[in-house]
Structure 1
Amino acid sequence: MTGKPNTSRLAEHAYEAVRDAIERGELAPGDRISEYKTADWLNISRTPAREGLLRLQAEGLLAHHPRRGLVVASIDSEALKEIFVARELMERSLAGQAARNASGPELDQLMRLVEAEAGMAEDREAMIRHNREFHGHIRTCAHNRYLLKFTGTLEDIVAADRRGTSLVDLARRHAVIEEHRALAEAIVARDVAKSEDRAAFHIRQSYAARLKLKMPEG
């Protein structure tokens, strides 16, 4: 009676541990990972390790390589385009729903996040962490659990390739601070249309900055 819940709990532990290692850059795109190594690393059996890795594969963070087996997924230009098209649609909707549905305390917290970010431009790692917190809070404000889940999965896939984040660029970090403020102010004003437009603009700018970093200098 206790075996299945315990396996499920350990599988969740494996999923979270590997996902966090990817997000922190400890596992890079192309790195090989297996249920054996995961089980040994986390001191668990192979079954929950395998279940955790299968979940990460289903979410796109891991991929099967024909010769190397399971590896941390890389994002090619076509996949990146598809991801950002989906993100723009979902983030636009989330921003509009946040403007409609957020509670007063949630809006207050959103502005506190904006104020905290104002002095972070010189600290890349702080900005990366704060960026996820900011967008995560907007998803919470929207009160739509399904969009919260799906958008979070897309963000995890993009975040896994830390070398490609547009936040490596100082000018982009300054721009992000201003875009976040404009988006937050529209949500706090409960202006649905403006919130949607500013969210879409922010995602398009992030995509453009990401493409610029991937392109060689001409």
Structure 2
Amino acid sequence: MRKLSLMILSLCMLLLSGCATIDSDVKIDSDGSGTWNAQINSQAGPLPKDSITEIINEYNIQDYTIKALDDQGKEITVDNGDETPYNVWTVNSKFNNVEELNKVRDAMTLRNKNQGPLLALEKTTSGTYIVDLGTSQGKTTVTVSGEIDPASVQTGTLTDKNTVTFTQNSHIRFIFKPSHGWLFYIGIGVAIVAVIGGGYIFYLRRKYYGDAA
């Protein structure tokens, strides 16, 4: 526990001093599922894999892979227990619901869990969703399955109707309206076919009885 605390403290100090960054690319669906791809860069010297793994485990993230980047930017698989340090590490993770998204949010921002509960994704009474991922520890890009309200983007830059980018030390918060799922469009298609089919049957019936008269 003491070793873990020192690892987290060391990385936090590097982040606060600007000697390390966590650049994140997050994709979020309205049901809270999605992916988190991060790149941890240390300008203060290389870090071993354990220093990254222990922090990820501290936030109880289950589905993830950690790899290093060599001097040519090529990903390298590093075995557990290998103490070879690298300046850049990548973390790729999937989450299946809001609870797991909360854990990812805590890890990507090194949020102190003693701060109490805070939802990373919350549905409003109007049907929109509030995304609140805390303070970015590097360049952070968030893509959602819907359309972002431009007025809700206070500190980021809207790069597409469903994507927003935040610089380091920005508050990652915005609101989006979810897009309709494929079942919605299938329902519309079925309704259109039913209306057309019903109209055609009505036409045939009128034509038949009209000819019979």
TM, length-normalised to structure 1: 0.28
Is the strand fraction higher in 1 or 2?
2
Is the helix fraction higher in 1 or 2?
1
TM, length-normalised to structure 2: 0.28
